[in-house]
Amino acid sequence: MSLVTRRRAIYTGLVRHLPETEVMPTLSFWEANYAEKPSFALNEFLGEVVKRCSHKLERASLYRELIAIMNGPATALLPDPLLQLEAWRCGAGVDADEVGGPGAQARQTFAALSEVLFAALPDTQLNALRRQLGSSLGELGVNTELRLRVRAWLEQGKGLARIQLELAQWRSLLNIIYEGLCEQLGPVAADQLLSRAVREVDNLQLRLPPQKLL
């Protein structure tokens, strides 16, 4: 089942039980922490939903309902809530990252680091770097769909919020950028630039310190 179909199914199930204001944060939390996990992790996710929800929910019945939705016809699902989810993320800012858990915190720190790294390059070198990185993503070890999303972010500079990676994968992605910087600038300049980026992002005092991505 594709990520889009799974997201539609989870959304369809949640929207029936959660207050409107809690649907998007919960969906974002699912996407950050459980979207790539096997289906048996659904029960664990629902345990978190029950804890976080302002209403009283019964986990077992919610679980049965979601399983039924997932096994049912795709036509019964609500449309993909991706646009609403992204709109909520943009508006919620830090809240969105906090609800997303460690993966989202890593993404937030990674975004800040990559911004400093890319900003240091003139346009021609940045374009060359983006092209080069696009062909190195096999080292990430993620599925095709995720790899395509990372590639799209590299090429267009947009859509980082849609990329769900584990902490180790964010580290790998940063290392791929470092490799590219070594090729473009030389290893000495790459080390200096990375060090500067870490210091700058450290000053932002994000929830995940930039050193954790090294």
Question: What is the spatial distance between Cα 210 and Cα 43, in angstroms, rounded to a whole number?
Answer: 32
Q: Total number of residues binding other proteins (CB under 8 A)?
A: 25
Instruction: State the Rg of the chain over Cα.
Output: 19
27, 194, 206, 208: residue in contact with other proteins (rule CB under 8 A): 194
Smallest distance, other proteins to C-beta of residue 28, A: 27
Per DSSP, 37 falls in state: S
How is residue 71 written in tokens? Answer: 């096994």
Smallest distance, other proteins to C-beta of residue 149, A: 22
Residue number, 152 or 185, with CB nearest to other proteins:
185
Question: What is the spatial distance between Cα 146 and Cα 153, in angstroms, rounded to a whole number?
Answer: 11
Smallest distance, other proteins to C-beta of residue 176, A: 8
Contacts of 162 (CB under 8 A, 6+ apart): 82, 86, 149
Question: What is the spatial distance between Cα 180 and Cα 190, in angstroms, rounded to a whole number?
Answer: 9
Cβ–Cβ under 8 Å, residues 172 and 140? yes
Smallest distance, other proteins to C-beta of residue 106, A: 13
183, 203, 205, 206: residue in contact with other proteins (rule CB under 8 A): 183
Does residue 182 belong to the site contacting other proteins (CB under 8 A)?
yes
Q: Interacting stretch for other proteins, rule CB under 8 A, among 8-16, 35-43, 68-76, 195-203? A: 195-203
What is the rounded end-to-end Cα distance, in angstroms, of the chain? 33
Does residue 214 belong to the site contacting other proteins (CB under 8 A)?
yes
Opening angle at CA 144, ends 142 and 147, nearest 5: 60
Smallest distance, other proteins to C-beta of residue 141, A: 12
Interface positions, 93-152, toward other proteins (CB under 8 A):
139
Residue numbers at the binding site for other proteins (CB under 8 A): 139, 171-172, 175-176, 178-179, 181-188, 190-192, 194-195, 198-199, 211-212, 214
